A and B are shown apart, each in its own frame.
Chain A
Amino acid sequence: MERRDFLKISAVSGATAALDACGKPERQLIRFIPETDLIPGIAVWRPSVCTMCPAGCGTTVRVMEGDAEVTRKGQLGLIKMGLAKKIEGNPDHPVNHGKLCPRGQAALQVTYHPDRIRHPLKRSGARGSGKFQEISWEDGIHELVTRLAALSSGQKTAALAIVAKPMRGQRRVLLESLAHALGAPPPVFFQFFEEAVLRQANALSFGRAQLPTLDLAQSNYVLSFGADFLGTWNSPVAQNVGYGEMRQGRPNLRGKLIQVEARMSETGANADQWIPARPGTEGLVAMALARVILTENLRPASAAGGAGELIPGWAEGLKDYAPEKVEQSTGVPAATIAHIARDLAANSPAVVIMGGAPLAQTNGLFNALAVNALNALLGNVEQPGGIYFTPAPPGMAPAQGLPIQPASAYAALTALLGLSTPTTLAPASPPQVLLLDEANPVYALPDPRVKDAIEKIPFVVSFGGFLDETSIFADLILPDHSPLESWIDDVPESGVTQAVVSLAPPTMKPLHHTRATPDVLLEVAHQLGGRVSKALPWKNYEEMLQAAWGPLQKEKGSVQASSADEFWSKIRKQGGWWSSEVAPAAQGRPASAGGPPVSYKEAQFSGNAKDFPFLFMPYESQQFLDGSLAHLPWLQEMPEVLSSVMWGSWVEINPQTADRLGIQQGDLIEVSSTRGTLKASALVFPGIAPDVIGMPAGQGHQQFTRYATGRGANPFKILDPVFEPATGSLGWAATRVKISRVGKGKLALFGGSLRESPREFGKR
């Protein structure tokens, strides 16, 4: 407790006389009347939805009565309330089957974070100085309404920009409706590791602009190109559940995993065979595999349908991609390719996956299309043990056809801010008002123009619960509840073969003086009146959710009810609705594919190979994903699995390279690209190619709570502006760097060293 708070309470409660004897001023706090009636010591479990990544897992939250220090009507005191104590997977949920990853479990610390913004704030110092003063909700909402009304009366509504983290469900609909009703451009849903290239490729090959669902549990053979599907990619919990079954869930049948990537990921470490192909040549490897299958007549070329037609030379048997021809450029021996190709054809159902770095190359689209064609050739699309596309719930349009151009959030964001883009998209006029919903582009984007553009926007409003590199520029902060204190809905894009709506009410009362952002926006719409309130007529978010998802009562699904009220009460208890129709056929069909063929072009890297001899490969962190979770102490102290590093960041160097350059583990290394320089400690890492430098994303925050600020380095900041041309996505794995030792660094390792004695492991 701060001294100032302490004095205030003493004055209020008149307990000053007792304090000398007590020494525990908390005991002097007044008690408010409890708002919940829980039995002390008895836990109840309430459903919720995980919002830590876009997978949309269902959770169940353990709630127990406890004493919380809260402020009510300006006075600090104690209240008995239901407090969330632990988050586990919802056992009934079809995505995660009662399981949850470490990041989802750490969501508890978002609610109880000491640096959460506790009440509305208005900027009181210079932009970015972090000086704010507390204001009332009425004043905050009034200010936002006034600004938005001024925009629409001045006919300058195009000058409103909305930037949010990726979300689906009704919160997305709400933001889109608000933008539309105000005549503003559509909101941009931004995160660094975006999947625009894969969605584009799936749209071309299968007619679905959607991430694939992997039926690993029934696969006999999994070939993954760079996809860390057990760590961070796509729907990791669902994929972990399936992986366990693939390995040991079937008597006498153990599925195999082959991983192709230049830097060993958490998933690559589980592989039976790890193949470090040269970055940017993954599409060539996939085509060489297809070539072997075609020439040896293991599958007919026609099996691939439209997905094959997108690859030039497919019908002619892919002459240019003979394993011997591509051996030189890919670094994968022709014999290895032939062997895997035969295994793929022999061990049906076999599935091929691509994710992560191979898509973040200038030829990423080709790489993805090559894998799609290979999958189609193997007969894996919408077959058990293959890939599926999760159907959209009734009443929601499926992700059919091509995504709205440009597909990449990077391009859309730069255009929205009035900056030139890597695509043909024309920049909008610079916005006058920016609404930020938890997106942090200033941290995530290497482009320094983004920060300058946001600084120049006359009025910035942030709804996020924390001050970060972007929200520090806000003029007005209207802090959201934490996810555990909110109504949440989500529509999983993948990870499940039936239509799912994850939906749950708050699990606990709000701890602080925050308000649910959807409720605030509905209030704003109401006050704006006219077209906006007509588009968003609901009193609160629950009403909006009920209007959207109530009609599911008529559908065949997990909730049976005779009345709308009964349906709603059951859906609240279950944590969502899921269709009883599992794996309906023909969500995406190779035959429905279209578009001109996309030919292979060699991947382009920035920086010349002589001055910048290493390829820089950032990757999504097991602990913090793209950095949005770096504020949680549990994740900071969780040893990253391949390095055992806690609370820090590091660069991974191949042992031979380290030897050659005289670099030892723990040395401070300077990594420079043509764009910038960073410093981090060296980790000698056996699972990385000699000419590749790996680095986890997530640290290097300049402003993100006491636990993350000023810790480690941010790899995004030295990335060169290299793009995948079709979507305008950042080619984040295409920057060349040079490295040098500059001193002694520090690494907090939980394991003694990377080379524990293999003796104790037995006979492997």
Chain B
Amino acid sequence: MARQWGMVIDLDRCTGCEACVVACHAENNIATVGEDQAARGRAMHWIRVERYWEGNFPNARVIYRPVLCQQCGDAPCEAVCPTYASYHNPEGLNAQIYNRCIGTRYCGNACPYNVRFFNFYNPVWDKPLNLQLNPDVSVRSVGIMEKCTFCIQRIKVAEFRAQAEKRPLKDEEFNPACVQSCPPKAMVFGDLDDPASEVSRLAQSNRATRLLEEVGTLPNVIYLRSVS
């Protein structure tokens, strides 16, 4: 049975601690680019915590929002790729096939969420930092776009294990690295097509919104509004 992977992020729980940011770097072999490249906007963070300031002192306030690939149902990045490197997989993920990518960066320009990152250089890990690399995730080379995969390597491992044990995949049996790490449990991951899953239950909340819903991308990341 096909699944529709999705995520709910409760902004009322999120504290902006950024555990998800480092978890993603560690899991997905994301290279650090250094100060000069970072200043040119070339730092790669598949997930980031945005903060929105409202009001002036002393009534200033902040709202945090973790932003990652929204795994759109109708993804602008997919339609523009001349080599079909951005493609929609059967489980609803906006997958990026690295060895098809020729680096036009059309997808990055088309994405309204700014969550696709281009490798301007070959990544470098000063030895022996290369030993931290996760063998389950390929390292991207210069000229390639990369993005959040919902930790597809973890999805695959869980699916294979369930298959080997001849049983269906359980809800919340595994999680992407960001969800696993999240201390206030702001993030929940699972199958949106399974009405019994925690993620589809939370997606029914009256606090549920989607980011830039009005542009018609049908995101599969659902935010629960902060209350106050």
- Tally of contacts, chain A with chain B, CB under 8 A: 219
Interface residues of B in 39-56 (CB under 8 A from A): 39, 43, 45, 48-56
**B34 and A647: CB pair below 8 A?**
yes
Known: A102-B18, A236-B17. A748 touches B39 (CB 8 A): yes
Question: Is A678's CB within 8 Å of the partner chain B?
Answer: no
Question: Is B163's CB within 8 Å of the partner chain A?
Answer: no
Interface residues of B in 182-214 (CB under 8 A from A): 182-186, 209, 211-212
Enumerate chain B residues within 8 angstroms of A243, measured Cβ to Cβ. 13, 15, 184
**B64 and A269: CB pair below 8 A?**
yes
**A240 and B15: CB pair below 8 A?**
yes
Question: Is B170's CB within 8 Å of the partner chain A?
Answer: no
Enumerate chain A residues within 8 angstroms of B15, measured Cβ to Cβ. 230-231, 240, 243-244, 266-267, 270
**A86 and B53: CB pair below 8 A?**
no
**A264 and B181: CB pair below 8 A?**
no
Interface residues of A in 698-727 (CB under 8 A from B): 706, 711
Question: Is B225's CB within 8 Å of the partner chain A?
Answer: yes
A106 to B25, CA, bound (A): 9
A244 to B9, CA, bound (A): 12
Question: Is B180's CB within 8 Å of the partner chain A?
Answer: yes
A267 to B45, CA, bound (A): 23
Q: Return the CB mask of A137-157 against B: 1 if under 8 Å, else 0.
A: 000000000000000000000
**B50 and A756: CB pair below 8 A?**
yes
Question: Is B227's CB within 8 Å of the partner chain A?
Answer: yes
Q: Return the CB mask of B97-108 against A: 1 if under 8 Å, else 0.
A: 000000000000
Question: How far is the CB of A319 from the nearest CB of chain B, in Å?
Answer: 28
**B16 and A266: CB pair below 8 A?**
yes
Contact residues on B (Cβ < 8 Å of other chain), bracket: 35 or more
Known: A230-B17, A751-B51. A762 touches B26 (CB 8 A): no
Q: Return the CB mask of B46-80 against A: 1 if under 8 Å, else 0.
A: 00111111111110111111000000000000000
Q: Which residue of A lies closest to B20 (CB)?
A: A102
Question: Is A37's CB within 8 Å of the partner chain B?
Answer: no
Enumerate chain B residues within 8 angstroms of A747, measured Cβ to Cβ. 39
Interface residues of B in 1-25 (CB under 8 A from A): 10, 12-13, 15-19, 21-23, 25
**A100 and B19: CB pair below 8 A?**
yes
Q: Which residue of B lies closest to A239 (CB)?
A: B183
Enumerate chain B residues within 8 angstroms of A641, measured Cβ to Cβ. 16-18, 49, 51, 64
A750 to B56, CA, bound (A): 22
A272 to B226, CA, bound (A): 10
Known: A105-B19, A244-B13. A637 touches B128 (CB 8 A): no
**B134 and A85: CB pair below 8 A?**
yes
Question: Is B228's CB within 8 Å of the partner chain A?
Answer: yes
A455 to B25, CA, bound (A): 40
**B60 and A764: CB pair below 8 A?**
no
Question: Is B165's CB within 8 Å of the partner chain A?
Answer: no
**A750 and B38: CB pair below 8 A?**
yes
**B181 and A88: CB pair below 8 A?**
yes
Partner of B19 from the list A84, A102, A272 (CB cut-off 8 Å) is: A102
Question: Is A483's CB within 8 Å of the partner chain B?
Answer: no
A688 to B38, CA, bound (A): 26
**B135 and A64: CB pair below 8 A?**
yes
**B56 and A655: CB pair below 8 A?**
yes
Enumerate chain B residues within 8 angstroms of A644, measured Cβ to Cβ. 51
A163 to B211, CA, bound (A): 51
Q: Which residue of B lies closest to A633 (CB)?
A: B32
**A108 and B26: CB pair below 8 A?**
yes
**A109 and B129: CB pair below 8 A?**
yes
A648 to B38, CA, bound (A): 11
A1 to B211, CA, bound (A): 47
**A654 and B132: CB pair below 8 A?**
no
A1 to B184, CA, bound (A): 43
Question: Is A760's CB within 8 Å of the partner chain B?
Answer: yes
Question: Is A577's CB within 8 Å of the partner chain B?
Answer: no
Question: Is A122's CB within 8 Å of the partner chain B?
Answer: no
A758 to B51, CA, bound (A): 10
Question: Is B27's CB within 8 Å of the partner chain A?
Answer: yes
Question: Is B173's CB within 8 Å of the partner chain A?
Answer: no
A101 to B15, CA, bound (A): 11
Known: A264-B62, A633-B32. A755 touches B53 (CB 8 A): yes
Partner of A269 from the list B55, B61, B225 (CB cut-off 8 Å) is: B61
Enumerate chain B residues within 8 angstroms of A760, measured Cβ to Cβ. 211-212
**A109 and B52: CB pair below 8 A?**
no
Enumerate chain A residues within 8 angstroms of B43, measured Cβ to Cβ. 637, 639, 646, 748, 750
* Most interface-central of A101, A240, A245, A746 (chain B CB within 10 A): A240
Partner of A706 from the list B38, B126, B182 (CB cut-off 8 Å) is: B126
Question: Is A123's CB within 8 Å of the partner chain B?
Answer: no
Question: Is A370's CB within 8 Å of the partner chain B?
Answer: no
Enumerate chain B residues within 8 angstroms of A690, measured Cβ to Cβ. 57
Q: Return the CB mask of A252-291 against B: 1 if under 8 Å, else 0.
A: 0010000000001011011010111000000000000000
A227 to B184, CA, bound (A): 17
**A635 and B62: CB pair below 8 A?**
no
Question: How far is the CB of B152 from the nearest CB of chain A, in Å?
Answer: 16
Known: A86-B134, A642-B62, A764-B63. A634 touches B56 (CB 8 A): no
Known: A85-B132, A85-B134, A240-B184. A761 touches B52 (CB 8 A): yes
Partner of B60 from the list A84, A687, A746 (CB cut-off 8 Å) is: A687
Enumerate chain B residues within 8 angstroms of A748, measured Cβ to Cβ. 35, 38-39, 43
Known: A647-B35, A751-B50. A114 touches B126 (CB 8 A): yes
Question: Is A66's CB within 8 Å of the partner chain B?
Answer: yes
Known: A641-B51, A647-B34. A66 touches B135 (CB 8 A): yes
Question: How far is the CB of A471 from the nearest CB of chain B, in Å?
Answer: 21
* Most interface-central of B65, B180, B211 (chain A CB within 10 A): B180
Question: Is B218's CB within 8 Å of the partner chain A?
Answer: no
* Most interface-central of B64, B129, B182 (chain A CB within 10 A): B129
**A637 and B32: CB pair below 8 A?**
yes
Question: How far is the CB of B215 from the nearest CB of chain A, in Å?
Answer: 10
Question: Is A689's CB within 8 Å of the partner chain B?
Answer: yes
Question: Is A89's CB within 8 Å of the partner chain B?
Answer: yes
Question: Is A603's CB within 8 Å of the partner chain B?
Answer: no
Enumerate chain B residues within 8 angstroms of A254, measured Cβ to Cβ. 12, 227
Interface residues of A in 717-764 (CB under 8 A from B): 746-748, 750-751, 754-756, 758, 760-762, 764
A84 to B65, CA, bound (A): 31
Partner of B62 from the list A88, A687, A706 (CB cut-off 8 Å) is: A687
* Most interface-central of B34, B39, B63, B132 (chain A CB within 10 A): B132
Enumerate chain B residues within 8 angstroms of A270, measured Cβ to Cβ. 15-16, 62, 64
A451 to B62, CA, bound (A): 41
* Most interface-central of A1, A106, A269, A272 (chain B CB within 10 A): A269
Enumerate chain A residues within 8 angstroms of B50, measured Cβ to Cβ. 751, 756
Known: A241-B183, A751-B51, A754-B53. A105 touches B23 (CB 8 A): yes
Enumerate chain B residues within 8 angstroms of A693, measured Cβ to Cβ. none
Question: Is B156's CB within 8 Å of the partner chain A?
Answer: no
Question: Is B110's CB within 8 Å of the partner chain A?
Answer: no
Question: Is A185's CB within 8 Å of the partner chain B?
Answer: no
Question: How far is the CB of A652 from the nearest CB of chain B, in Å?
Answer: 12
Enumerate chain A residues within 8 angstroms of B10, measured Cβ to Cβ. 244, 248
A100 to B131, CA, bound (A): 21
Given contacts A88-B181, A264-B60, 11 further A-B contacts (CB under 8 A): A85-B135, A89-B181, A100-B183, A101-B17, A109-B132, A114-B126, A240-B15, A247-B12, A247-B227, A270-B64, A274-B60
Can you list 26 A-B contacts (CB < 8 A)? A64-B135, A66-B135, A69-B128, A85-B135, A86-B26, A88-B23, A99-B183, A100-B181, A108-B132, A114-B129, A230-B184, A240-B15, A241-B184, A241-B185, A247-B12, A247-B227, A276-B58, A637-B43, A638-B21, A641-B64, A686-B55, A748-B39, A761-B63, A761-B65, A764-B54, A764-B225
**What residues of chain B have their CB less than 8 Å away from a CB belonging to chain A?**
10, 12-13, 15-19, 21-23, 25-27, 32-35, 38-39, 43, 45, 48-58, 60-65, 126-135, 177, 180-186, 209, 211-212, 224-228
By Cβ-Cβ distance, the 4 closest A-B pairs, closest first, are A244-B184, A240-B183, A647-B35, A269-B62
